[in-house]
């Protein structure tokens, strides 16, 4: 009876944890199989434990090159999308202007559009213009689809910002530029950082749009895609695991530092 | 206190002549908007127009294409690929429902029951993003492998008999069946359901639960009458964020499915990148866009959350 | 310590015909106002009366639609806020959340290129008794402390005028009383012109030398607090500042400086000098008297009321005991809800609801208002605020 009651009360917790397990299971598999020594070209079945791949992560032709390219594109796309998106977000929150509705729709639509549609139409444009597909077309496409997400993230932050803070700065002899640098930007920074982080993740992990507009250039997701047809090297799992671990450690470290700083101040 | 009564330091001198009433920064918003909006117009809106024009062109790769207002392309594309369209909508809808069913308890858990574990669970929901989704999707090949523990268990429990009868799986295989594709779609878009759900649940004042309980509502009734209605904005944006990308996806169908589970994304991709039949590909892409915009509009109207966007 | 003298009028604020319209809505009607150097000036009114807009036009945060703003001899109308020698204490303070207290206070000095700010900031923090908190962030301080930081951050710049926008609105009652005295002390100490916007009439009267009561984008009346209270010129001021009993009456006759009026059969005397209404015989007038000026006698004791006092008969309908006084609501023929506050010195046990009473007061405490106004103006506003 008490067990049934306990079950009733914690049903939602159990269901939630099961979902969490579902979400994390593939990462566990990726990690475990980074220590596999597969028999054939594909790394789908467990054979035997080995650290070969970890010892030689760049041992596969072209993989680390594609990784470097992806990081490079993600960096520039983040920079571009964050700059353009932050400007739009400020304009939308802080100013009244004509065509506001049109601008809002133009921001919203890329997020409500299946990637394959954007990818296909952008390719049509590039083909019509006779553009050389490669690094630049990928970068253009990435800035385009990251932009809306940056706008959304920054807008949320700027909207929750008290406009009186900027008025107070002006009242205290800060001109428009000083006000922006000393007050607006530092306060909006968490929103901008969130937008930039999102843009980086989206760009780095994008496959569909890149696949259409890359020509013969190969980014990391495209390398993984290709290897799914030709044969999956264990090194893919090594990279996947390493990125997961680095990300989790990074977040945990920033949380610990944040906690300690708060505690010291209180 | 002497510093306070000293003469104030000199400020910028006042303009002696009368200036017209100042209009501070009237053009500022346009300068801020210009680069970003230009980018979106040139690389998002303009391509849509190019695509629309391509879809009514005829010709060949060698001789070049001309606009001939050949609307028959649309008809041909639809009549040939309607099964893929239907499949896309069916798979995406199934995945969306599954995401809602799986994601709601987890979002609820994080919002109300996690206590000091909240941040950790949050990190665990987001962290998988940092591993390329293609690598994670490939992991499902291992999980659902023929003769693997998952398939074995489903077989022993006779679940596969039921799903085979429904046409979701084939024999004692899960891989290369609709079930595998839907499973992959659900997995890939689950965080996009959980995050908006969590955001709207987290805003609900915990005292509302107590108030509902105080007013004779059982926990289930409290959920049905208070919590769920208040989380509607999260449900709506979560389903949109799941359904839209799932409809256009072709990665899961390619990696986990078979030729019989092709979705519309697969067709568009192969027409564009392999067959090089640009008008057909453009027409398909245009139909997909129109269909999704129509469905989304109706859905938003129905759910009464137009202020969402 | 005050720098006020005949030659230094740099802290005068002179508004000439300034107004503010938003589309078809007029927030402030053309307004002329002079706030003398070194005074503590309050703009008092309900929300939406235009007081904050007026303040923001002085600060430069709002452009006037017409008119000019002068500080001393300098026309600052065209100057942006960061070029005006004026500082503001914002509603809910607007402290910069990303800067600590020290940097918040130093902000204005640094923006004007002053390098060595340490000594000044520390002195300023001492003035507002926050020397210990210099390295905390705003959210770590209590409401009252944040309020003092906001004052320090503005005052350190030696503004010619300090503007305060509902500076105590976010504080609880007890702290508000304390900060009222504190602000008054600081103002006396530094001798800077303070312009204070508030909806709290007690706050305005406690702190300010001069109060301007605003209503519907216009200044209704301007004067020293006691003067406004004793001699309201409009029903709005009479009702918004404290409570007034207003009786509709008719002018009966004049006897010397006094006007004799009739209200529902009772004859009342109104000093001619205290009436802002035209006193033609047979004309209407509103007669007012404050609740604390009135004596309350049981009907049996009516004979013992001295001659020459205004008197009205009525019946008690409600009493409430609030410690220092007892408030009675009396139903009279001339006024159905006559309010009377009686100090609790000797309480007459017969004064309970239903008792017949006679109200009486010194005719000198009576004021007259123009009857062509809304008798309830300013009543609801005070409750809403």
Q: What is the 3-state secondary structure (H, E, C) of chain A?
A: CHHHHHHHHHHHHHHHHHHHHHHHHHHHHHHHHCCECCCCCCCCCCCCECCHHHHCCCCCCCHHHHHHHHHHHHHHHHHHHHHHHHHHHHHHHHCCCCCHHHHHHHHHHHHHCCHHHHHHHHHHHHHHHCCCCCHHHHHHHHHHHHHHHHHHHHHHHHHCCCHHHHHHHHHCCCCHHHHHHHHHHHHHHHHHHHHHHHHHHHHHHCCHHHHHHCCCCCCHHHHHHHHHHHCCCHHHHHHHHHHHHHHHHHHHHHHHHHHHHHHHHC
C144 and C100 in a common domain: yes
What's the confidence (pLDDT) of residue A1?
A: 64
User: In angstroms, rounded to a whole number, what is the distance separating the alpha carbons of residues A176 and A160?
Assistant: 20
A198 and A98 in a common domain: yes
A221 and A116 in a common domain: yes
Residue of A nearest to C60 (CA): A171
Across A69-83, C84-98, C251-265, C358-372, the highest mean pLDDT is recorded for A69-83
Chain A residues close to B273, C-beta within 8 Å? 211-212
Q: Is residue C262 part of a domain?
A: yes
A196 and A156 in a common domain: yes
Total domains in chain B come to 1
- Looking only at the bridges linking them, the beta strands covering C284-289 and C266-271 are unpaired
Q: Is residue A253 part of a domain?
A: no
Chain B residues close to A85, C-beta within 8 Å? 36
- Smallest CA–CA separation between B100 and chain A, in Å? 11
* Least CB–CB distance from A171: residue in C88, C97, C112: C88
What percentage of residues in chain C have a pLDDT greater than 90? 55
Q: Does the beta-carbon distance from C92 to A165 stay under 8 Å?
A: no
* Least CB–CB distance from C98: residue in A173, A175, A187: A187
Please tell me if residue C126 touches chain B, with a CB cutoff of 8 Å. no
A75 and A45 in a common domain: no
Please tell me if residue B121 touches chain A, with a CB cutoff of 8 Å. yes
Q: Is residue C3 part of a domain?
A: no
Chain A residues close to B194, C-beta within 8 Å? 19
C291 and C332 in a common domain: yes
Q: Is residue A42 part of a domain?
A: yes
Domain boundary among C235, C263, C286: C235
More confident residue, B101 or C7: B101
A116 and A22 in a common domain: no
Residue C240 CA from chain centroid, whole number: 9
Q: Is residue B37 part of a domain?
A: no
The per-residue pLDDT for range C223-239, each reduced to its tens digit, is 999 999 999 999 999 99
Q: Domain containing B224 — which CATH number? A: 1.10.3720.10
C380 and C287 in a common domain: yes
A41 and A114 in a common domain: no
Q: Does the beta-carbon distance from A244 to B127 stay under 8 Å?
A: yes
Please tell me if residue B122 touches chain A, with a CB cutoff of 8 Å. no
* Least CB–CB distance from A171: residue in C59, C95, C97: C59
* Least CB–CB distance from A172: residue in C61, C87, C91: C87
Domain boundary among C182, C209, C235: C235
Q: What's the domain range around A177? A: 61-232
DSSP code of residue C256: T
Whose CA is closest to C184, among C196, C201, C170, C197?
Answer: C196
- Smallest CA–CA separation between B151 and chain C, in Å? 55
* Least CB–CB distance from B50: residue in A112, A124, A232: A124
Chain C residues close to B3, C-beta within 8 Å? 119-120, 123
* Least CB–CB distance from B3: residue in C83, C123, C191: C123
Q: Does the beta-carbon distance from A172 to C108 stay under 8 Å?
A: yes
Chain A residues close to B251, C-beta within 8 Å? 207-208, 225
Q: Domain containing A200 — which CATH number? A: 1.10.3720.10
Total domains in chain A come to 2
Q: What's the domain range around B123? A: 75-308
Please give chain B's pLDDT, 309 residues, in tens: 333 434 444 444 433 333 344 445 678 888 889 999 999 999 999 999 999 888 888 877 777 777 788 888 899 999 999 999 999 999 999 999 999 999 999 999 999 988 888 888 998 898 888 889 999 999 999 999 888 888 888 888 888 888 888 888 888 888 899 999 999 999 999 999 999 999 999 988 888 888 888 888 888 888 888 889 899 989 999 999 999 999 999 999 999 998 889 999 999 999 988 888 889 999 999 999 999 989 888 888 887 654 444
The per-residue pLDDT for range A147-197, each reduced to its tens digit, is 999 999 999 899 888 889 999 999 999 988 999 899 999 999 989 999 999
Q: Is residue B8 part of a domain?
A: no
- Smallest CA–CA separation between C65 and chain B, in Å? 9
A85 and A175 in a common domain: yes
Q: Is residue C100 part of a domain?
A: yes
- Smallest CA–CA separation between A228 and chain B, in Å? 8
C250 and C220 in a common domain: no
Please tell me if residue B8 touches chain C, with a CB cutoff of 8 Å. yes
Q: Does the beta-carbon distance from C97 to A187 stay under 8 Å?
A: yes
**Mutate: best of A157, A169, A171, partner C, most C CBs <10 A:** A171
State mean pLDDT over C238-259. 89
A154 and A22 in a common domain: no
Q: Is residue B206 part of a domain?
A: yes
Q: Is residue C172 part of a domain?
A: yes
Neighbouring chains of B at 3+ CB pairs under 8 Å are A, C
Q: Is residue B48 part of a domain?
A: no
Domain boundary among C183, C206, C235: C235
Residue of B nearest to C155 (CA): B4
Kindly provide the ipTM of the predicted complex, given to two decimals.
Answer: 0.89
The residue assigned the tokens 């005292």 is B207
Please tell me if residue C308 touches chain B, with a CB cutoff of 8 Å. no
């Amino acid at each position: 009876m008490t067990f049934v009651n306990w079950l009733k009360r914690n049903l939602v917790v159990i269901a939630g944890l099961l979902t969490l397990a579902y979400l994390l299971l593939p990462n566990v598999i990726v990690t475990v199989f980074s220590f596999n020594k597969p028999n054939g070209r594909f790394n789908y079945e467990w054979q035997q434990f080995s650290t070969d791949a970890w010892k030689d992560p760049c041992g596969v032709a072209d993989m680390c090159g594609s990784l470097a390219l992806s990081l490079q594109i993600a960096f520039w796309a983040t920079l571009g999308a964050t700059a353009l998106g932050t400007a739009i977000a400020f304009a939308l929150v802080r100013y009244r202007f004509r065509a506001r509705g049109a601008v809002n729709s133009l921001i919203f639509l890329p997020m409500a559009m299946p990637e394959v549609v954007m990818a296909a139409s952008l390719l049509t444009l590039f083909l019509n213009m006779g553009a050389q597909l490669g690094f630049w077309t990928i970068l253009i496409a990435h800035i385009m689809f990251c932009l809306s997400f940056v706008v959304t993230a920054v807008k949320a932050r700027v909207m929750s910002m008290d406009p009186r803070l900027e008025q107070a700065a002006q009242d205290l002899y800060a001109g428009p530029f000083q006000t922006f640098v000393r007050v607006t930007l530092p306060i909006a920074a968490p929103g901008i950082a969130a937008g930039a982080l999102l843009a980086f993740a989206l760009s780095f992990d994008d496959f569909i749009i890149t696949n259409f507009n890359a020509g013969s250039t190969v980014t990391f997701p495209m390398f993984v895609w290709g290897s799914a047809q030709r044969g999956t090297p264990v090194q893919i799992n090594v990279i996947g695991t390493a990125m997961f671990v680095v990300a989790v450690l990074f977040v945990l470290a920033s949380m610990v530092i944040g906690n300690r700083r708060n505690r010291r101040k209180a | 206190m002497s510093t306070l009564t000293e003469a104030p330091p000199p400020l910028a001198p006042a303009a002696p002549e009368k200036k017209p009433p100042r209009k501070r920064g009237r053009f500022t918003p346009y300068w801020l908007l210009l680069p970003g909006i230009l980018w979106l117009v040139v690389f998002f809106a303009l391509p849509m127009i190019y695509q629309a024009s391509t879809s009514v062109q005829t010709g060949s790769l060698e001789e070049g294409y001309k606009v001939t207002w050949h609307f028959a392309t649309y008809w041909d594309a639809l009549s040939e690929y309607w099964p893929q369209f239907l499949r896309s909508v069916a798979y995406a809808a199934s995945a969306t429902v599954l995401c809602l069913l799986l994601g709601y308890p987890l979002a609820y858990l994080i919002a109300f029951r996690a206590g000091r574990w909240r941040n950790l669970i949050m990190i665990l929901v987001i962290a998988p993003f940092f591993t390329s989704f293609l690598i994670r999707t490939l992991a499902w090949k291992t999980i659902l492998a023929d003769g693997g523990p998952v398939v074995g268990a489903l077989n022993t429990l006779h679940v596969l008999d039921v799903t085979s009868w429904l046409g979701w799986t084939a024999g004692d295989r899960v891989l290369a069946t609709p079930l595998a594709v839907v499973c992959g779609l659900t997995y890939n878009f689950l965080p996009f359901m959980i995050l908006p759900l969590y955001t709207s649940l987290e805003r609900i004042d915990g005292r509302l639960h107590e108030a509902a309980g105080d007013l004779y509502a059982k926990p289930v009734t409290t959920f049905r009458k208070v919590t769920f209605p208040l989380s509607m904005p999260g449900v709506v944006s979560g389903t949109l964020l799941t359904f839209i990308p799932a409809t256009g996806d072709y990665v899961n169908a390619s990696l986990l499915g078979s030729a019989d589970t092709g979705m519309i994304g697969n067709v568009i991709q192969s027409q564009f990148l392999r067959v090089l039949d640009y008008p057909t590909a453009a027409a398909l892409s245009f139909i997909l866009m129109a269909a999704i915009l129509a469905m989304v509009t109706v859905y938003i109207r129905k759910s009464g959350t137009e202020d969402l966007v | 310590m005050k720098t006020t003298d005949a030659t230094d009028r740099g802290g005068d604020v002179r508004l000439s015909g300034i107004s503010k319209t938003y589309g078809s809505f007029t927030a402030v009607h053309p307004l002329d106002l002079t706030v003398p150097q070194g005074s503590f000036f309050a703009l008092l009114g309900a929300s939406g009366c235009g007081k904050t807009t007026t303040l923001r036009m002085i600060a430069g945060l709002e452009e006037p639609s017409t008119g000019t703003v002068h500080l001393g001899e300098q026309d600052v109308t065209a100057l942006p806020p960061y070029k005006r020698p004026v500082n503001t204490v914002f509603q809910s303070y607007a402290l910069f959340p990303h800067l600590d207290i020290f940097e918040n206070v130093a902000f204005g000095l640094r923006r004007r290129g002053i390098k060595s700010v340490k000594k000044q900031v520390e002195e300023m923090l001492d003035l507002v008794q926050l020397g210990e908190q210099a390295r905390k962030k705003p959210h770590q301080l209590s409401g009252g402390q944040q309020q003092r930081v906001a004052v320090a951050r503005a005052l350190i710049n030696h503004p010619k005028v300090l503007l305060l926008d509902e500076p105590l609105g976010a504080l609880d009652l007890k702290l508000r009383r304390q900060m009222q005295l504190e602000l008054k002390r600081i103002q006396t100490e530094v001798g800077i012109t303070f312009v204070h916007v508030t909806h709290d009439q007690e706050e305005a009267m406690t702190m300010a030398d001069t109060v301007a009561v605003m209503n519907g984008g216009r200044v209704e009346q301007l004067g020293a607090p006691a003067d406004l209270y004793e001699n309201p010129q409009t029903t709005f001021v009479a009702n918004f500042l404290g409570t007034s009993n207003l009786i509709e009456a008719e002018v009966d006759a004049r006897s010397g400086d006094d006007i004799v009026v009739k209200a529902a059969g009772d004859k009342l005397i109104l000093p001619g000098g205290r009436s802002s209404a035209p006193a033609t015989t047979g004309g209407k007038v509103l007669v007012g008297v404050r609740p604390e000026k009135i004596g309350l006698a049981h009907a049996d004791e009516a004979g013992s009321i001295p001659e020459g006092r205004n008197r009205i008969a009525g019946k008690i309908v409600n009493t409430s005991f609030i410690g220092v006084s007892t408030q009675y609501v009396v139903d009279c023929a001339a006024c159905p809800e006559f309010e009377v506050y009686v100090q609790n010195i000797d309480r007459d046990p017969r004064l309970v609801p239903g008792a017949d009473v006679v109200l009486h007061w010194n005719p000198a405490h009576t004021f007259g208002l123009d009857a062509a106004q809304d008798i309830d103006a300013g009543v609801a506003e005070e409750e809403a605020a």
